[in-house]
Amino acid sequence: MSSPAAGRALRYGASEEEKARYHGLARRHGTPLLVVSRERLRVQYRDLQKRLPDVSLYYAIKAFPHPAVIETLAALGCHFDVASEGEIELLQALRISGRKTIHTHPVKKSQQIKAALRGGSTTFVVDNLEELGKLTPWRHRVGILIRLSFPSETAAVDLSRKFGCPPEEAPEIAERAQRAGFQVRGLSFHVGSQSLSPQAHVDAIEQCRRLLERINERLPHPLGTLDIGGGFPVDYELRGFDYDAYFQPIRRALERLPRDLHLIAEPGRYLVAPAVISISSVIGKSRRGGLRWYYLDDGIYGSYSGQLFDHARYPLQFPDGEGPRSPSVLAGPTCDSIDVIAENLDLPELNEGDLVIGRMMGAYTAATSTRFNSLNAAKIVVEEEDFDVG
């Protein structure tokens, strides 16, 4: 049997202060909970700004589409990557101008295009002429980014399978778009998400540099924007990932680009993953086949959905429980047998009401959680205070 616990960071116990905080939150709000730290978001945003100094950051709302996250980032000057009407409505409700967005979904209904334009979102991503055709009625108003595909072998989530045109097709799409009267802003790509190697980004940037050079020699209107996507990894394994080493080659690749090129990135995970923790409670226990089973009030169909959809293994912390550890299973609250968060964990004995903390749980957690078994989604609580992200 494979070991889903492999590569999962575990932390036993917690400082008195931390423990008091978790239990305080659980008492005040009940569990399951997702707790957002505004301060950790700010730290992440500033950190990424420092690491990618000339790049305008467009938070990928889909990662954790919550008003408090959007508002906190907007206050720092962050822009937004939107992909649906609902995401635009979220921004409008917060009075954030569509001017601060790009619409990045490569495939849209005509209705969605109109809704985006009404929301003030005027830059659209396309990866083929068919899709470009849908924008024809608004060709004088919109700006176009052509999405390229650079398949990645190292990313946990490959985003080049479904979208993006082969780089060699880009010049023709750009040319035909310009001839059809479109304003082509530039190129975009997504090398995939949570790759621990920067090489895919570096290679893609370098290819785009050459491609832009070639296109701009030929076309009457030079392309002036490069959108390098997102996918920057976070340290789910809590092993002290070397972010300096990761970002340095990307920065160097960007430095080789013309100085007047507008640079855009669409970080989701990097900004929001470390800014949210999950707090769930043990609601039942049993002993099955020599293993201890603990049933939590959150699971795969809830906040831990990212383990399925996003291939993430969130670090777990057990502030409660003492004594000798034995092999245990953590399961979610639904009646489906795939609702297992982790197996082969060495855990101290836990009791009903004990808390389990999921860390780094901001990206693609609540966003993809379901209402299976008519269970309520984890309540989202927003706090000012930072988390200890060790």
Partner 1 sequence: MKEFQETLYDSISQCFRIDKLYYESKTEHQHLMIFHNAFLGRVMTLDGIVQTTERDEFIYHEMMAHVPLLAHGEAKEVLIVGGGDGAMLREVRRHPGVERIVMVEIDAEVIELARKYLPNHSQGAFEDPRLELVISDGMEFVRNCEAGRFDVIIADSTDPIGPGEVLFSDDFYAECHRVLKEGGVMATQNGVPFFQLDEVRTTRRRMGRHFADQTFYSAAVPTYHGGIMTFGWGSDEPALRQVSEKVLAQRLSEAGFQPRYYTPEIHLASFALPRYLLDALEE
Q: Show which residues are catalytic.
A: 335
Whether omega for the bond prior to residue 65 falls within 30 degrees of 0, making it cis, is: no
Tokens coding 16: 């008195």
Which of 110-118, 186-194, 266-274, 354-362 is the region at the interface with partner 1 (rule: CB under 8 A)? 110-118
Which one, 143 or 249, has the nearer CB to partner 1?
143
Q: Shortest approach of partner 1 to residue 101 CB, angstroms?
A: 9
Interaction residues for partner 1, span 81-100 (CB under 8 A): 89, 92-93, 95, 97-99
Residue 349's H or E segment, with its range, is: strand 340-349
The answer for residues whose C-beta is within 8 angstroms of residue 168's C-beta and 6 or more apart is none
Does 222 contact partner 1 by CB under 8 A? no
CA atoms within 13 A on the CB side of 211: 27
Does 36 contact partner 1 by CB under 8 A? no
**36 vs 269: CA distance, rounded Å:** 14
Tokens coding 156: 């946990």
Does 186 contact partner 1 by CB under 8 A? no
Does 143 contact partner 1 by CB under 8 A? yes
Q: Shortest approach of partner 1 to residue 125 CB, angstroms?
A: 12
Does 135 contact partner 1 by CB under 8 A? no
Q: Shortest approach of partner 1 to residue 114 CB, angstroms?
A: 5
Does 120 contact partner 1 by CB under 8 A? yes
- Listing DSSP states for 268-293 in one string gives SHHHHGGGEEEEEEEEEEEEETTEEE
Does 250 contact partner 1 by CB under 8 A? no
**381 vs 362: CA distance, rounded Å:** 12
Does 256 contact partner 1 by CB under 8 A? no
**123 vs 99: CA distance, rounded Å:** 9
The residues of the shown chain that bind partner 1, judged by CB under 8 A, are: 89, 92-93, 95, 97-99, 114, 117-123, 137-143, 183, 185
